[in-house]
Amino acid sequence: MSDSHGQADWGECTIATCSVERSIFQYRPSLVANSLFIALFGISMIIHIYQGIRWRQRTFAILMAMGCISEMIGYGGRIMMYNDPWSFTAFIMQIVTITFAPVFFTAAIYIQLYKSILKLSPGSALFKPALYFQIFIPADVISLVLQSVGGAMSSQSNGSSKTGVNIGLAGLSFQVIFLFTFVVLSLLFAWSYRKDVKAGRAATENLDGRFKWFLGFLTLATTLIFVRCSYRIYELSGGYSGSALHSQAEFITLESCMIIIAVYALNIGHPGLVFDPRKSDTTTAGEKDLHRASESSIEV
C-alpha cells in the first residue's frame, strides 16, 4: 500500500524492489556524510567531557554530551536508512533525536548568559540574573517535548499526520521565539553594561581577552543554532511532501553543518576559560554569588 504522495508503507519496499523516490525522503542518506558527522559529534563530546572535568563545568559538559549523543543516534538512524529507506525504526531514530538534540545545546548556552551577567555586572541586568535560566530552561523543556511528540506522531503515520507535523512545528517555533528573545535580552544587557561602565557603575576588569573570546564563540554557536532551527521550520512547513524535506544537500548544509560548527565553537570558546571555580584568587563578588547559587540550586 502507498499513501497519497506515492510513498510506500513501512516494510513494503526494499532497495531491490522499489525506487528510492517512493521512500519518505525520496533519497538514500549519504553513508559517508552521516558516518563523518557521527565521528565529529563523538570527538566533540569527548573533548567536552574532558573540558568539563578539567574546568569543573559539570552541567555544561552533561548538556553538551547529551546533545552529541542524541545527534549520533540520529545520524545512526540515517545510516540505517541508507540500507533501508523504508525502515520505521531508523526513521524514528533520526527524525526525533536530530530534531530535538539542539535543545540541549541551547540550554547550555542559556546558563552561560546567567553566569556572564554575574561575572560582569549583575546590576546591569534588566531583572534578577537567575531568571535568565529559570525562564529559558523550562522553555527548552517544553520545546523538547513538543518536538519529540510531533516527531513520534509523524513517524508512526509515515509522515502523513498533519497533527504530528504541526506539533513538531510548534516546538521548533517555540524554540526559535525563545532563542530570539534570548538574543535580544543579551544585547540589552550588553547595552546596559556598556552604559554602566561609562557612568562608572560597572568595571571592565573581567572583560579581558579570554572573556571576549568566549563571548565571540558563544555568539557564533547561538547564531548557527538559530539558523538551523529556522531552516527546520521551513523544512517542515510543507509537511512530509514538501520539497525541502527531499533535499539532502539542504539538510547537510543547514542542519548538519550548522550544528557541528556550533558544537565545536563551544569547544573552542569553552566557558571553563572564564568560569573555572578553582581561580579563587580572582573570584569576584558576582562569581561568589554564582558558586553559592550552584550549590543550592543548579550546578553550573
Q: What is the pLDDT of residues 96-108, one digit of tens each?
A: 899 999 999 999 9
Report how far residue 298's alpha carbon sits from residue 300's, in angstroms, rounded to the nearest whole number: 6
Domain regions of the chain by residue span: 103-296
Position 280 pLDDT exceeds 50: no
Q: What is the pLDDT of residues 174-223, one digit of tens each?
A: 999 999 999 999 999 999 999 999 999 999 988 999 999 999 999 999 99
Q: What is the pLDDT of residues 23-57, one digit of tens each?
A: 989 999 999 999 999 999 999 999 999 999 999 99
| Over residues 122-147, mean pLDDT | 91
pTM of the model: 0.89
More confident residue, 20 or 161: 20
User: CA angle at residue 215 from 139 to 106, to 5 degrees?
Assistant: 20
Report how far residue 133's alpha carbon sits from residue 271's, in angstroms, rounded to the nearest whole number: 16
Q: How confident is the model at residue 6 (pLDDT cuts 50, 70, 90)?
A: low
Position 241 pLDDT exceeds 80: no
- Quick one: pLDDT at residue 234? 92
Which of these, 99, 107, 81, 121, lies nearest to 211 by C-alpha position?
A: 121
DSSP assignment string, the chain: -B-TTSPBPTTT--TTTS-GGGSSSSSPPPHHHHHHHHHHHHHHHHHHHHHHHHTT-HHHHHHHHHHHHHHHHHHHHHHHHHH-TT-HHHHHHHHHHHHHTHHHHHHHHHHHHHHHHHHH-GGGSSS-TTHHHHHHHHHHHHHHHHHHHHHHHHHHTTT--HHHHHHHHHHHHHHHHHHHHHHHHHHHHHHHHHHHHHTTSS--TT--HHHHHHHHHHHHHHHHHHHHHHHHHHHHHTGGGSGGGG-HHHHIIIIIHHHHHHHHHHHHT-THHHH-TT-GGG--HHHHHHHHHHHHT---
- Quick one: pLDDT at residue 132? 85
